[in-house]
């Protein structure tokens, strides 16, 4: 009788390494298969896209397979799970066509459909569509030992009638098949089945090989095996043993010799790493009809003691467990108690700091450079969940572990890390404690109690030993400002582990002492995300605000005179301004950028050490806001008194009295002096922000300011959300005043703005909008007073003992003084004890260099530029002090 040997190492072994086999191993494996004369290699699965990150052998896409050196004397198969295709939203046919092209264009010869008996009927359609595409189709019936002889015969008869299946396989999924049942199953199939029969055995009871040989003896002509038995659960029949055995039975086409080096040099190492193969637990699971995944999960998790595993098996044997269910497993695991009171108190350990928790998910590896850069930039407290090969120990503040098995597995490496290890020492057995005697342990307690989540200074109570929950407890108890996560990627939506983790996170969020949590790398959990790319520029800006060194030149939200903006930019960049507030107009942004470049090229010549480029901010406003409107003079009613011409700060009113729109900044000076109220009116510059703002950012702007001093709260917040969305990684500013808003409305709007922008928020406290020009205390009084209102609400707290307001250590809201700002603003604020994070000056700043900016020889005469920048510098220093770059 002819025999066909199928090796499915890469497919079944992939359960251990997430189908991520290295290239060199695969090369050696394929050439060994070819030399051993193995007939078929099942090279992997062809899964539909999964949310979890898994290796290429889980998908076996044609392009990927074509990139491998596939020996020509082998047929190649892939396995599909029938359930995946049956559940596909667009139906079976669409799912098949999504996964497979015409056989002519694919290196795959055979598709093996893995199915349970209950899904058999739908497999017909899968097979039909695969046949149509030209593939050979094998059908693999799982958990056949659950069926009686009659059912097996009827099933075989049904499948025969389809006339679509070349080989009917049966699999000993639970690993509990005895040799008599092998013969019974083969006989039952043979009664109705005329084509070939195949077998896939499992080694729970060390009988995979003997069952395979028995099947051959009974008439099976397709047999599976894997190198060193690598496969789900206890693994499979070993290919090296099978070949030796069948050669001895006369199948001398096969040659086991090329397999041996592969076993010794490569797969032994994998076996040490993943530890598959028969053991007492798999043996018991086979005896009791427990799905081997329970055992694989418990063994792989390394959290469970042998007593816990035996106790779980004891539980599972009495319930339906022939299918794997995470919920059943959770119910099966007996809980250890532990102790909530560790010897170490986490209190204030990370007070006011960010705590970054690094998990082991694939995104940590994927974003490792960004994570390292982030740590270096932000200097957070770094907690690493167990040992993580990708993060250098020098960047880790402490390692966190709470699973006894994980601690046992990693404790020999703790000493080399030279970092504290936070773990629940009291929960560990004596022997393990001994191994930790020379390690710097911070003993944070852990008590495991069903459904509970409680955090105290010395320990926590958790529903189970979940390292992330333990680390969250430490961060919380230690007074962290916020918790950031990387490598906490999550599972696919239907995975019960996902549901469990979501429920733990919700439980945490509901604690009264919970800290804000953000994910820096992609996650499927409902955690708000923050970009890990939030860049060096963001930090530079944050530092300028923190140190009060942020001076912003306001060129005018409505000022579209690109040339004037460029010249002002040159002078104020040289003078040390770090913000350039300009109209949201792409041409103006480009001109501003050119001005910055020119200033940097002149800096050396003037012996100025410029390092941080100023931030270009574009201003946009709501209809009705002063900053974005343009004056229009009605020449029919105008009495031509010309009073408006000299009061215009931007020379926007020529003798013709036709306002130059590019120059008008909507300041109101003209209408204030005009003898009649019906001559001058204002037009709002209507623009589509959704289109305009990204264009401005693309042109070089990094921040956006919304002028929001109008009463329509709802519309304002819609625009603000848009601004936040368009500029997710930069600071965004809201300009507010009390001329148009009551104190209450002013504070209320800031609250709402903060909810959306969080730490990106800047409030431009606009004392008396556009009232600048004069350099006296009275002009700047309202700027300081408005800032004081904001501080009292957000940045100060009541000291109960003395009943006085004092400043908080860190600001809740960053604010810039604005609206009537001049050279005396900072001085007045200091005298009044009003803190601010920067100054924003428009009219006065432009006015003091106007003559130079208007000079025709501006670019020809560096002396002129030098003179202008020295004037500007005085104003910068008067407000934010020397900028020492």
| Least separation in angstroms between CB 627 and ligand SF4 | 11
| Least separation in angstroms between CB 636 and ligand SF4 | 11
| Least separation in angstroms between CB 671 and ligand SF4 | 7
Choices 266-274, 408-416, 671-679, 721-729 (CB under 6 A): range interacting with ligand SF4: 671-679
Please count the residues of this chain forming the interface with ligand SF4, following the rule CB under 6 A.
28
> How far is residue 885 CA from its own chain's centroid?
34
In the region spanning residues 647 to 666, those forming contacts with ligand SF4, defined by CB under 6 A, are 647-648, 650, 652-653, 657, 659, 664-666
Nearer to ligand SF4, 667 or 761 (CB): 667
Per CB under 6 A, the list member of 309, 316, 679, 693 interacting with ligand SF4 is 679
Write out the DSSP string of 356-369: EEE--SHHHHHTHH
Choices 316-324, 385-393, 643-651, 729-737 (CB under 6 A): range interacting with ligand SF4: 643-651
The CA distance from 53 to 549, in Å, is 45
**Residue 850 CB partners (closer than 8 Å, separation 6+):** none
| Least separation in angstroms between CB 670 and ligand SF4 | 3
Nearer to ligand SF4, 324 or 682 (CB): 682
Nearer to ligand SF4, 80 or 628 (CB): 628
Per CB under 6 A, the list member of 197, 350, 631, 708 interacting with ligand SF4 is 631
The CA distance from 706 to 675, in Å, is 32
Nearer to ligand SF4, 505 or 648 (CB): 648
Strands across the sheet containing 338-339? 338-339, 445-448, 459-462, 454-456
Residue 771 as a binder of ligand SF4 (CB under 6 A): the answer is no
Helices then strands, counting H and E runs in the chain, come out as 36, 31
Residue 499 as a binder of ligand SF4 (CB under 6 A): the answer is no
Is residue 648 within 8 Å of 672, Cβ to Cβ?
no
Choices 237-245, 359-367, 467-475, 642-650 (CB under 6 A): range interacting with ligand SF4: 642-650
| Least separation in angstroms between CB 633 and ligand SF4 | 5
Longest dimension (CA), the chain: 117
**Residue 438 CB partners (closer than 8 Å, separation 6+):** 415
What angle do the packed helices 149-162 and 120-133 form, to 10 degrees?
30
| Least separation in angstroms between CB 667 and ligand SF4 | 4
Nearest alpha-carbon partner for 780 in 831, 732, 848, 814? 831
Which class for 73: exposed (0-12), middle (13-18), buried (19 or more C-beta within 10 A)?
exposed
Nearer to ligand SF4, 603 or 647 (CB): 647
Per CB under 6 A, the list member of 74, 471, 633, 849 interacting with ligand SF4 is 633
Nearer to ligand SF4, 592 or 644 (CB): 644
In the region spanning residues 706 to 745, those forming contacts with ligand SF4, defined by CB under 6 A, are none
Residue 401 as a binder of ligand SF4 (CB under 6 A): the answer is no
| Least separation in angstroms between CB 565 and ligand SF4 | 15
Nearer to ligand SF4, 354 or 625 (CB): 625
Residue 644 as a binder of ligand SF4 (CB under 6 A): the answer is yes
The CA distance from 109 to 102, in Å, is 11
Residue 674 as a binder of ligand SF4 (CB under 6 A): the answer is yes
Which two three-digit tokens encode residue 246?
């069948």
Per CB under 6 A, the list member of 264, 543, 643, 806 interacting with ligand SF4 is 643
Choices 51-59, 522-530, 644-652, 851-859 (CB under 6 A): range interacting with ligand SF4: 644-652
Q: Left, alpha or beta for 333 (phi > 0: left; psi -120 to 50: alpha)?
A: beta
Rounded to the nearest 5 degrees, what angle is found at the Cα of 871, between the Cα atoms of 613 and 858? 75
Nearer to ligand SF4, 119 or 560 (CB): 560
The CA distance from 610 to 293, in Å, is 62
Residue 798 as a binder of ligand SF4 (CB under 6 A): the answer is no
Per CB under 6 A, the list member of 639, 658, 798, 805 interacting with ligand SF4 is 639
Nearer to ligand SF4, 10 or 652 (CB): 652
The CA distance from 1 to 223, in Å, is 13
| Least separation in angstroms between CB 484 and ligand SF4 | 46
Phi and psi for 636 in degrees, rounded to 5? -75, -35
Residue 555 as a binder of ligand SF4 (CB under 6 A): the answer is no
| Least separation in angstroms between CB 842 and ligand SF4 | 11
List, as own/partner pairs, every contact residues 637-643 make where C-beta atoms lie below 8 angstroms and the sequence separation is at least 24, other chains included. 637/676, 637/678, 637/679, 638/679, 639/675, 639/676, 639/679, 641/675, 643/673, 643/674, 643/675
Write out the DSSP string of 489-511: ----TT-HHHHHHHHHHHHHHTS
Is residue 518 within 8 Å of 528, Cβ to Cβ?
yes
The CA distance from 470 to 474, in Å, is 6
Residue 667 as a binder of ligand SF4 (CB under 6 A): the answer is yes
Per CB under 6 A, the list member of 280, 337, 543, 641 interacting with ligand SF4 is 641
Residue 640 as a binder of ligand SF4 (CB under 6 A): the answer is yes
Nearer to ligand SF4, 406 or 629 (CB): 629
Q: How many CA atoms lie within 13 A of 824 on its CB side?
A: 15
Nearest alpha-carbon partner for 793 in 828, 762, 748, 734? 748
Which class for 678: exposed (0-12), middle (13-18), buried (19 or more C-beta within 10 A)?
exposed
Residue 199 as a binder of ligand SF4 (CB under 6 A): the answer is no
Which two three-digit tokens encode residue 330?
């959770």
Residue 638 as a binder of ligand SF4 (CB under 6 A): the answer is yes
| Least separation in angstroms between CB 665 and ligand SF4 | 5
Phi and psi for 31 in degrees, rounded to 5? -70, -35
**Which stretches does DSSP call E strand in 584-675?**
615-621, 629-633
- The binding track of 583-622 with respect to ligand SF4, each residue x by CB under 6 A or -, is ----------------------------------------
Nearer to ligand SF4, 571 or 653 (CB): 653
Nearer to ligand SF4, 511 or 774 (CB): 774
Choices 259-267, 636-644, 750-758, 799-807 (CB under 6 A): range interacting with ligand SF4: 636-644
| Least separation in angstroms between CB 709 and ligand SF4 | 16
Residue 642 as a binder of ligand SF4 (CB under 6 A): the answer is yes
Nearer to ligand SF4, 95 or 664 (CB): 664
Residue 493 as a binder of ligand SF4 (CB under 6 A): the answer is no
Nearer to ligand SF4, 237 or 659 (CB): 659
Nearer to ligand SF4, 657 or 692 (CB): 657
Q: Is 769 helix (H, G, I), strand (E, B) or coil?
A: coil
The CA distance from 609 to 619, in Å, is 28
Which two three-digit tokens encode residue 13?
């072994």
**Residue 501 CB partners (closer than 8 Å, separation 6+):** 466, 468, 490, 491, 525
| Least separation in angstroms between CB 846 and ligand SF4 | 11
Footprint of ligand SF4 on this chain (CB under 6 A)?
A: 631, 633, 638-644, 647-648, 650, 652-653, 657, 659, 664-670, 673-675, 679-680
């Amino acid at each position: 009788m002819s025999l066909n040997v199928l090796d499915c190492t890469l497919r079944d072994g992939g359960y251990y390494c997430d189908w991520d086999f290295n290239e060199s191993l695969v090369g050696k494996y394929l050439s060994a298969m070819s030399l051993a004369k193995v007939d078929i290699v099942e090279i992997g699965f062809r899964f539909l896209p999964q949310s979890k990150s898994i290796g290429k052998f889980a998908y076996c896409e044609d392009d990927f397979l074509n990139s491998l050196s596939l020996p020509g004397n082998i047929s190649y198969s892939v396995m599909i799970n029938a359930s995946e295709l049956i559940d596909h939203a667009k139906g079976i046919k669409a799912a098949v066509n999504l996964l497979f092209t015409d056989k002519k264009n694919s290196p795959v010869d055979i598709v093996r459909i893995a199915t349970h008996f209950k899904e058999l009927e739908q497999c017909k359609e899968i097979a039909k569509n695969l046949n149509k595409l030209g593939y050979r189709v094998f059908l693999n019936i799982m958990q056949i030992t659950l069926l009686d002889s009659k059912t097996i015969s009827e099933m075989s008869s049904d499948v025969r009638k389809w006339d679509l299946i070349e080989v009917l396989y049966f699999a000993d999924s639970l690993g509990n098949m005895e040799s008599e049942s092998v013969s019974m199953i083969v006989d039952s199939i043979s009664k109705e089945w005329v084509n070939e029969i195949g077998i896939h055995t499992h080694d729970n009871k060390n009988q995979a090989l003997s069952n395979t040989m028995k099947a051959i003896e009974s008439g099976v002509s397709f047999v599976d095996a894997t190198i060193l038995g690598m496969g789900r659960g206890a693994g499979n029949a070993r290919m090296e043993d099978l070949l030796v055995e069948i050669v001895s039975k006369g199948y001398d086409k096969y040659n086991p010799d090329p397999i041996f080096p592969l076993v010794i040099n490569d797969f032994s190492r994998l076996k040490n790493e993943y530890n598959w193969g028969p053991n007492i637990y798999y043996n018991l699971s086979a005896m009791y009809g427990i799905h081997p995944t329970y055992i694989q999960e418990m063994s792989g998790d390394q959290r469970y003691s042998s007593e816990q595993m035996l106790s779980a098996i004891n539980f599972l044997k009495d319930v339906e467990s022939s299918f794997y269910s995470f919920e059943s497993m959770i119910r099966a695991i007996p809980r250890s108690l532990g102790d909530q009171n560790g010897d170490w108190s986490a209190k204030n350990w990370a007070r006011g700091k960010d705590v970054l928790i690094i998990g082991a998910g694939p995104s940590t590896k994927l974003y490792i450079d960004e994570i390292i850069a982030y740590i270096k930039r932000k200097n957070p407290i770094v907690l690493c969940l167990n040992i993580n090969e990708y993060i250098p120990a020098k960047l880790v503040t402490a390692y966190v572990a709470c699973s006894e098995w994980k601690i046992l597995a990693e404790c020999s490496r703790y000493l080399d890390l030279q970092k504290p290890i936070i773990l629940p020492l009291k929960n560990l057995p004596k022997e393990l404690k001994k191994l930790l005697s020379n390690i710097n342990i911070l003993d944070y307690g852990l008590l495991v109690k069903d459904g509970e989540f409680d955090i105290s200074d010395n320990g926590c109570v958790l529903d189970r030993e979940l390292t992330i929950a333990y680390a969250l407890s430490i961060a919380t108890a230690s007074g962290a400002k916020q918790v950031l996560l990387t490598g906490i990627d999550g599972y696919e939506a239907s995975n019960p582990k996902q549901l469990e983790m979501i429920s733990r996170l919700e439980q945490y969020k509901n604690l009264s002492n919970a800290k804000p949590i953000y994910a820096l790398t992609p996650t499927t959990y409902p955690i708000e995300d923050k970009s890990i790319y939030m860049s060096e520029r963001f930090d530079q800006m944050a530092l300028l605000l923190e140190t009060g060194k942020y001076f912003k030149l306001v060129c005018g939200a409505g000022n579209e005179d690109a040339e004037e903006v460029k010249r002002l930019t040159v002078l104020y960049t040289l003078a040390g301004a770090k913000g350039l507030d300009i109209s949201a107009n792409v041409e103006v942004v480009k001109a501003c950028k050119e001005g910055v470049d020119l200033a940097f090229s002149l800096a050396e010549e003037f012996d100025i050490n410029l390092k941080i480029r100023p931030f270009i901010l574009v201003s946009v406003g709501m209809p009705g806001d002063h900053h974005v409107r343009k004056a229009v003079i009605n020449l029919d009613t105008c009495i031509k008194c010309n009073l408006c011409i000299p009061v215009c700060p931007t020379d926007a009113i020529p003798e013709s009295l036709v306002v130059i729109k590019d120059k008008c900044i909507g300041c109101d000076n003209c209408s204030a002096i005009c003898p009649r109220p019906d001559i001058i009116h204002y037009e709002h510059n209507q623009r589509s922000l959704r289109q305009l703002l990204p264009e401005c950012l693309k042109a070089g702007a990094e921040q956006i300011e919304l002028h929001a001093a109008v009463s329509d709260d709802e519309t304002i917040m819609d625009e603000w959300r848009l601004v936040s969305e368009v500029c997710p990684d930069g600071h965004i500013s809201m300009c507010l005043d009390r001329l148009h808003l009551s104190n209450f409305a002013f504070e209320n709007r800031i609250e709402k703005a903060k909810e959306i922008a969080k730490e990106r928020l800047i409030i431009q406290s606009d004392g008396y909008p556009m009232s600048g020009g004069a350099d006296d205390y009275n002009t700047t009084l309202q700027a300081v007073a408005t800032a004081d209102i904001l501080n009292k609400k957000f940045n100060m707290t009541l000291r109960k003992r003395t009943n006085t307001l004092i400043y908080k250590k860190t600001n809740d809201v960053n604010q810039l003084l604005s609206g009537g700002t001049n050279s005396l603003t900072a001085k007045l604020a200091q005298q009044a004890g009003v803190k601010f994070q920067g100054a924003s000056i428009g009219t006065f700043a432009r006015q003091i260099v106007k003559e130079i900016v208007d000079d025709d020889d501006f670019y020809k005469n560096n002396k002129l530029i030098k003179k202008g920048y020295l004037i500007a510098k005085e104003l910068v220093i008067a407000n934010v002090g020397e900028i020492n770059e």
